[in-house]
Structure formats: structure tokens, C-alpha cells
Structure 1
Amino acid sequence: MSTKDYLEKDYYAVLGVPKSATAEEIKKAYRKLARQYHPDANPGDSGTSESTAKFKEVSEAYDVLSDARRRKEYDEARTLFGSGLGGFPGAGGATRGGGFPFDLGDLFGGTAQQQQGAGERIGDLFGGLFGGRGGATRPGGTTRRPRRGQDVESEVTLSFTEAAEGTTVSLRLTSSSSCTACAGTGAKAGTTPRVCPTCEGTGAASRNLGNFAFSEPCRDCKGRGLLVDDPCPVCDGSGRGKSTRTIQARIPAGVGDGQRIKLKGKGAPGENSGPAGDLYVQVHVKPHQVFGRSGENLTVTVPVTFTEATLGAEIKVPTLKGMPVTLRIPPGTPNGRTFRVRGRGVTRKDGTKGDLLATVEVLVPQKLDDKARTALEQFRDATAGGDPRAELIQQARSE
């Protein structure tokens, strides 16, 4: 595939997002389309149907736009060609810098004396854009560059306690990897691929246009550097397949429901000794029947009797994964008052803990025997005084 073919692909249109789309919007659009066209969602797909081709196209677009560096290079390349770079020398009047409609010194931030080798740096730009292969176009030729593995997403559901204290979970991941049948060569078992004679195994071919040069994927080997005469029947000669693996992932303490955490280097393996991608885990937390969360603090509602709230008392308060603590309730405690028990909350990143916020709920007795009723009536008579609602009513009338 030529450079012209690459530059004519509008990856933003493929994903149905504007050029100004955020990384989150791009990811959301990709996930929606990937689910729609994924082979698993289209049983019976022979690998040549429109849905399969669309899935590959969507994946290729996301592969570029999800990587900040490659997206920047892609945007720059389309801007350059879209503004007249396709005309090259002699296309449209007097130009500077050897026939270009711009000054190479302006492009690379140097003076006219510093423009030597500018074409090589543009070669770096396009070589990095098209699949991460092909270095700068220099006399010694280009080399295949390492390529970072794709990021992988997963989900996990934790108990309330696991989220608060942290835990290690097993995650089953499916990602792209070398085909196990051909060990990534793309050749049928018992055969071996041969070095592409066109690019001599580099995977890239150079194109020189005066004092402007850049590299592009080799048309014959499609950038692999190898030619397969007898393709592997499992991967159809691509050398890539789907792998499923189980990893142990450490979920840090204090994660909340709906939080998305990043585990660096736990994604798909890279190509050509490139680094692995990252793993993003969406966390779901089950509610607790006793405790709640308020940031790094735990919350709990503790029932107290009328006499405990009135006369004061020492009560037992439950803690998460620990023995109950004693809380002193002062006399005259109103309903809904919150007390703080320090160090009994959610574990923080530095290992310390938040607090436990205990809110008292005064219980009103539903049934009274004669003795209790008589005692309450005596209490009422003994504490009889002014109407506690008189001021409230007066304020309401004054408005």
C-alpha cells in the first residue's frame, strides 16, 4: 500500500468522530463499532465479508488515533499534504526551500544553514506514522522499529471490603499476539518465509523527491519485511492471532465503584521487541449492608435508645474487618449527630487510613407496657415547659 493510500484514509470518518474528538470520545466510538463488527458478533463470517473488512478498518483507525504520538504525526502529515505538499517542486509558483510552498527552516525550527538533513527528519515522521516501521531515510537504509502493544480493557467486580482494603484478582485477557500455529512467521508449518527482495527485510521502502525523502511500507511485503509463499491456514499468513491468558492483577486499596485504573505493561505484548501495552480495569463495587463510603471515610448509622441519647452512654460501634470500638455518647445527643472514629476508614495510598463516621439514630419505642408508659408520663410532667414549636410558628408568621 502506497503512502498516498494511507494519507487518503480519513480515520476520523471511519470512527465517525470529528478531528477535535477527545481520546475518550475516540475510544467510545471504537468500542461501539468494534462490538458491532467483531467476528464473534458475526458467526459464520469467513474472514472476507464486509463486516470483517469493516472491523479491520475500524481497528486500524483506532490503532493510530488512540496513540497520542501517532495521532499527532497523522494529523501533521494530512495537514502537509492537504495544504499543497502533494504538488511538490514546481507545483504553483515560486517557493522557498527547493520548490516547497513553505520554508523547511520554519517547519523544523532552524535557520537556512540548519536545513541540511530536513528531508531525513520528514522521513522519520512518515516512517513512524505507518505502522511504526522504517526509520529515517539515510544512506544505510531503514530498520524496523519496535511497536508498542495495544492497550487492553477488562472489568472486575469487588466486594466492598476488597475495594476498601485492596486485593489481588485473576483476570482472563484476550488480546492480539503471535499466531501459535506458525510462531508468528505467517508461513505454513514446515515452511519458512523468505526475506523480501524489494526492501531487503526492512519492511520499508524509500521514496526520494528532490531534497524531500520519506519512507513508506514496502508494497510487496506490506511492511513485514518477509514474503510468505505458503501461508499458515490458521492466521491466513498474517502471523497474528488471538491469545487468552490469565494474569494476577493487584487492585489498590481505596478504589471506588466505577473507577478505571491503569496497570502499566499488562496489556498486549509489543512487536519487534516493543514494550507491552497497558491494561485498563473498570472496577465495580458491591454495596455493603452496614457500611457506606464518603471519599476515604467509612460511614455507618448506629441506633441508640431515647434514654441513651438523653442521659448519655457508652455504645459499641462496628468496624470493617475488625472488633467493635467503644463510642461515648454525651448526654443530650440529638438524633442525626455524627461522631468521628479516627483511623477506622478506607486505606489510603500511603498506607494510612481515613476515619469512621458514625451517625446516631434515636429509636422511638413502638410498644410500651404500663410501667414504661407511667414513667414517660412522669417524665413529661417533670419536664413540662413552654411550647418548643412556638418560636418556629412565630418565625413562619413573620415572613
Structure 2
Amino acid sequence: MFGDAFSGGRKNTGRQSGRGSDLRYNMEISLTQAFKGDKAKIRVPASVQCKDCKGIGSKNGVAPETCNACNGHGKVRAQQGFFTIERTCPTCQGSGQVIKESCSVCKGSGRIQKQKTLSVNIPSGVEDGTRIRLSGEGEAGLNGSPPGDLYIFITISPHYIFQRDNANIYCRVPIPFTSASLGGHVEVPTVDGGRAKITIPAGTQSGFQFRLKSKGMSILRSKERGDMFVEALVETPVNLSKRQKEILKEFEDEGKNEKNNPETEGFFSKVRDLWEDLKD
């Protein structure tokens, strides 16, 4: 999914007089695209150089003439008493040149508005907030000056199964309480579209994490990958039949004298200690 939200926010770096403004484009991609990398087409509204006058702004591209008001300096001086005041030439607007006859297409600006279709290479392993620069794809410069750049800001949309933390991938997998108690196996999806088989040890508790090495995200400009962490979520059964309830009751009665629930035993042991401390 690509965000087509184009930000008109421009930042003129001022590195060169007349240089076109830089542009920003916000692009939203999926986690899969961030993992594999992609090549996308985007449409950007921007000013481009007028082809009729080649960005000069004059009819048929005739070269501008030197401004007679400032003699090409772009500034004029005026004497006011003892002071000499220098200001921008009002005739040429500081450019030092004037156009005798303006281009009929761009009206003398040397630029026209146009929708540009550009190709963007998204590298594998790209992270949220990454900035991609397309040199020369910003606003056209004034009077044939160089164009600005286009900056693409990447946003990765949330995934319905995976959560990303740098190069690592996390997911929570529900496990039947029977498998958690007795042990078993479960297949989990991986971010590359494959599957991984996990062995569930007997007595697995909710919150326990299984680590799958090199099953995480691609790393930018590297052949390595992060890890994947699968968190066990032991599921309590619902809508039990009468027979299932009887079996569970038998299970409870059978284990009353056994330490089958270490977490419970540990917690209530601490509670008893707390109550004893409060009595003192």
C-alpha cells in the first residue's frame, strides 16, 4: 500500500541562487515490502522547466538582456541626505536581466506545473522514518537554474500478526492448554511468507518466548537478518461440555496434593508472608 499524500511543504536550502525548492512525499508501505524491498511508481505534482523557452522565460528562448536600470547589478542606489540606500532593483527584481517578450506558455516564469511519474526503489530492510532522496526531482529552478530534490519519507503500516522492533520480529501465538501442559508442536508463520515449526515443552507458561534465529527482518545493506520471537499465549478453553467439566474437576481433585502450579504456589506463599509482616 502506497501513501499518495503529497506534502507541499518545501525547504529551500539556498545553496545556489534561483535553485528550485526541495519537495517532500510521504509514502506508506507494508511490512512485507519493507522486508523484501520493492519498486514503486509515484505521481508528484511539481513545477518543471518549460520546454518552449528552456526555463529562460522569454519567447523562443531568446536570452534576456541586461537591465538598464541597474546595469546588470540587480541593485540600485538612492541618495537620501547623507545616506546612500541600496535596494533590490524594481525593474529586474534583482536578477540583473530583463525579458523583452515573455514566453506564452509559462508567462515568463520559465516553469510550468505538471504531474510527474517517478520510479522509487525501496531497499529491503528499510525502517520506519527512512528518507529516500531523488536528486533533481524537486521544483524547477528559476531562469534555468538547477532543480531541487525530492525527499520520500517512508512509513510502515502496522501488520495484523507481526510487530517489528528494529531487525527483530515479534508475534503472539495461542497454544491450547493441553499442548502447554503435555507438550507438543505448533507451526507459526514467518515474515518471509514461510512457516516454522516450534516444539512446545511440557509445562509451557503464557509469556514464554521462543527465539527463531535469522527469521526476523532483513537488515538494510546487509545479507543478515534479525531474529523472530514467538510469545506463547496459553488459551483457556470455553464452552465446555458436561463431560469436559467432569474431567477437569477430576484433574483438579487428583492434583490437590501435588505441586502442579508453581506460579500459584509461589504467589500465595508471598501473600502469606505479606500478611504475617502486617500482623507484626
CA RMSD of aligned residues (A): 3.5
Q: Verify: 1:263 aligned to 2:133, yes or no.
A: yes
Q: Verify: 1:353 aligned to 2:225, yes or no.
A: yes
Number of aligned residues:
255
* Secondary structure at the counterpart of residue 211 of structure 2: strand
Whether the aligned pair in 2 keeps the contact of 1:260 and 1:280 (CA below 8 Å) is no
| 5+ long unaligned stretches in structure 2 | 1-6, 78-86
Q: Counterparts in 2 of 1:55-70, with a 5 A limit?
A: 63=12, 66-67=13-14
Q: Counterparts in 2 of 1:326-345, with a 5 A limit?
A: 326-345=197-216
- Tell me how far apart the structure 2 counterparts of residues 327 and 289 of structure 1 sit (CA, whole Å): 21
Whether the aligned pair in 1 keeps the contact of 2:34 and 2:156 (CA below 8 Å) is yes
**C-alpha distance after superposition, 1:356-384 (max 9, x if no partner):** 11111111111333443333233222321
Residue 264 of structure 1: CA displacement?
4.5
- Tell me how far apart the structure 1 counterparts of residues 143 and 20 of structure 2 sit (CA, whole Å): 10
* Secondary structure at the counterpart of residue 309 of structure 1: helix
**C-alpha distance after superposition, 1:107-147 (max 9, x if no partner):** xxxxxxxxxxxxxxxxxxxxxxxx63xxxxxxxxxxxxxx6
Residue 292 of structure 1: CA displacement?
1.6
- Tell me how far apart the structure 2 counterparts of residues 187 and 275 of structure 1 sit (CA, whole Å): 18
**Aligned pair partner of 2:53 in 163, 179, 182:** 182
Distance 1:196 1:273, change over 3 A: closer
Distance 1:244 1:256, change over 3 A: same
The residue that corresponds to 1:170 in the other structure is 41
Residue 220 of structure 1: CA displacement?
5.2
**C-alpha distance after superposition, 1:175-214 (max 9, x if no partner):** 333224433232235x73443265999776899xxxxxxx
TM-score w.r.t. the length of structure 2 is: 0.75
- Tell me how far apart the structure 1 counterparts of residues 52 and 243 of structure 2 sit (CA, whole Å): 86
Q: Counterparts in 2 of 1:74-93, with a 5 A limit?
A: none
Higher RCO structure, 1 or 2 (CA under 8 Å, sep 6+): 2
Q: Verify: 1:229 aligned to 2:100, yes or no.
A: yes
TM-score w.r.t. the length of structure 1 is: 0.54
| 5+ long unaligned stretches in structure 1 | 1-30, 36-58, 71-130, 133-146, 208-215
The residue type paired with residue 363 of structure 1 is E
**Which stretch of the first structure deviates more once superposed, 286-295 or 326-335?**
286-295
Whether the aligned pair in 1 keeps the contact of 2:58 and 2:64 (CA below 8 Å) is no
Q: Which has the higher helix share?
A: 1
Residue 223 of structure 1: CA displacement?
5.1
Residue 219 of structure 1: CA displacement?
6.7
Q: Verify: 1:390 aligned to 2:260, yes or no.
A: no
- Tell me how far apart the structure 2 counterparts of residues 267 and 290 of structure 1 sit (CA, whole Å): 37
The residue that corresponds to 1:74 in the other structure is none
The residue that corresponds to 1:363 in the other structure is 235
Q: Verify: 1:240 aligned to 2:111, yes or no.
A: yes
The residue that corresponds to 1:280 in the other structure is 151
Q: Counterparts in 2 of 1:1-399, with a 5 A limit?
A: 63=12, 66-67=13-14, 132=17, 148-189=19-60, 192-196=62-66, 221-222=92-93, 224=95, 226-257=97-128, 259-268=129-138, 276-349=147-220, 350-385=222-257, 388=265, 389-397=267-275, 398=277
* Secondary structure at the counterpart of residue 331 of structure 1: coil
Q: Which has the higher strand share?
A: 2
Q: Identity rate of aligned residues, in percent?
A: 28
The residue type paired with residue 267 of structure 1 is E
- Tell me how far apart the structure 1 counterparts of residues 110 and 223 of structure 2 sit (CA, whole Å): 46
Whether the aligned pair in 2 keeps the contact of 1:310 and 1:332 (CA below 8 Å) is yes
